[in-house]
Amino acid sequence: MNGPKPGWRDWIAAVWAEAHAVPPGLPRLAWRAGGIWMFAREILRPRRVAKATVFAAAAAAAAWAAWPAPEVGHAAVSQFGVIVTVVLLAGLPLLARRFLGPAGPSRAGRALRVFCFAAILALIPARILVEVFADFGPRPTGYLRINNAFNSAGVHGASSGGAPWPGEAAILLIIAVYVAAFLWLTSRRARLSRATLSAGAGTGLLLGLVMYAVAPLGLGLDATNPWLPGSDVDPLVALAWLLLVGGPVAAAVLAVRACRDAAGSVPPAATRFRQGVAAGVLANLTGALFVTALGTSTTALTLTSASLRQWLYHGDRLSALALYHREQLASVSTEVYVVMCVAFPLVGLFMSLLAAGFATHPPEEIPAETGVTS
Amino acid sequence: MTSRPEFSAQTLSVLAALCDQPSGWQHGYALAKQTGLKSGTLYPILIRLCDRGLVEARWQDEPQPGRPRRHRYRLTSAGLASAAQALGGAAERAAELAAAKAARKVRAGTRPAPRGAVAGSTP
């Protein structure tokens, strides 16, 4: 029986101890240099260092872009949100590595992790910009002043109401759940196949894109108009509903059908069922995160880019007050993405449970009752 | 189409060195001398073989006076089977390569057929 596997310290100590057996002089020096090279290559892992550096740079850029000025109302809440989000993104992978093992071997899993982190990093400045803007609700007495001062950079002032700590906590909780879910689904311990991850991610990205086309600035038709007239009978809206409900079903069925073990044979029903449910949940998780990142970022860009405002709202034909009203509506409408982030995975779970159950035990496989005669 | 060999040539040389004394423990420097590998190449190979459960490692029980304890290595039973299979496959591949090389040499030594000649048309 094998003893415990040596750790890194054992290996380093082994190379160093072995150097005493090597002839002194250049050979011994070369032996030790080889040990140092091994340490640099195997333990420091240049790729891991590069990934950490890219993440740190992206997180710093996102935090810098999002960091609200102290004079902005509820700046402390926003600053807290930025810090906690970055800590979640940096800390949860370490916890996941400890409890769930490293990332799975498939490229689809790694790509999904990158997608999740990129989307949430993009959300950091976008949601803070939008929240700060939405927080300054249009006060009737301030309309004229806003109208006059609109073309100056930014609109600052004291916001009404108390600090939105509960809302911020809820959003941070959702972010934590999303990061944890993506880490779990793409971890080695989850043992999801490449087909499962690809089916879930592909369906989810399609759902996200269609939802973005339907609700580029939240679901408020006033905010979106005239970009997209929007109506309940719009074909795009119908497609979005179809993907929301049918996407997890398709992903689950694909995952169940493609499920094979290492030897290429069909694994037990429980394994296929698990793959199917995971694919369906992943589809709607991906879709919700994708549309949230795209929609919130578009709204934030609308607030910061005058040229985008002009193009989007045909600002030359709108008064500054009307334009401001549209922006306010768009900012407030982004709250619908929070609802999507909660509802979509639940819909995905429900639909994929049904679909995976059906695909794992199709009617013809269910043994017919015997001994019953009419 | 041939499948990609499971082990690199360097790993095979380490496995072959370990196969020399299947039940005995060997030290790193002895393996390095046998295989001609440097420590920076040898140890990562040993680490991966250990991770795959093909090689077991153990610290020396009684070190020489004034010297630190040394690490020793030997093949596990799974490692022994895997090494035998891989080394057998490598020998077969080497024989195939040698045969192909010899055939190429023979072909290069013969005069090329005239252009337009049809196979089987020569008496």
Optimal mutation site among A15, A22, A28, A44, interface B, most CBs of chain B within 10 A: A15
> How buried is residue A67: exposed, middle or buried, by Cβ count under 10 Å (0-12/13-18/19+)?
middle
Contact A11 B43 (CB under 8 A): yes
Question: Alpha-carbon distance B65 to B54, whole Å?
Answer: 31
Average pLDDT, chain A: 81
Question: Alpha-carbon distance A33 to B61, whole Å?
Answer: 27
Pick the residue from chain B with its C-alpha nearest to A19. Answer: B29
The arithmetic mean of pLDDT across residues B46-72, rounded, is: 88
For chain B, domains (ranges, CATH) are: 9-105 (1.10.10.10)
Say what the pLDDT of residue A92 is: 94
Say what the pLDDT of residue A133 is: 76
pLDDT tier at A233, thresholds 50, 70, 90? low
pLDDT in tens, A10-28: 888 899 999 999 999 999 9
Is B18 or B65 the better-scoring residue by pLDDT? B18
Please give the share of chain B, as a percent, with pLDDT higher than 90.
38
Average pLDDT, chain B: 79
Number of helices and strands in chain B (H, E): 4, 3
**A27 touches B32 (CB < 8 A):** no
Residues of A in contact with B62 (CB under 8 A): none
Residue A145 has pLDDT above 60, yes or no: no
Optimal mutation site among B39, B55, B74, interface A, most CBs of chain A within 10 A: B39
pLDDT in tens, B21-35: 888 899 999 999 999
**A316 touches A368 (CB < 8 A):** no
> pTM of the prediction?
0.65
A133: which 2 tokens? Answer: 């803007």
Residues of A in contact with B42 (CB under 8 A): 34
Residues of A in contact with B47 (CB under 8 A): 11, 42
Contact A21 B53 (CB under 8 A): no
Residue B16 has pLDDT above 80, yes or no: yes
Contact A21 B29 (CB under 8 A): yes
Is A371 or B17 the better-scoring residue by pLDDT? B17
Question: Alpha-carbon distance A2 to A242, whole Å?
Answer: 55
Residue B111 has pLDDT above 70, yes or no: no
Residues of A in contact with B27 (CB under 8 A): 18, 21
The arithmetic mean of pLDDT across residues A289-304, rounded, is: 89
Question: Alpha-carbon distance B100 to A357, whole Å?
Answer: 55
| Rounded alpha-carbon distances, angstroms, from residue B23 to B55, B74, B75 | 11, 7, 8
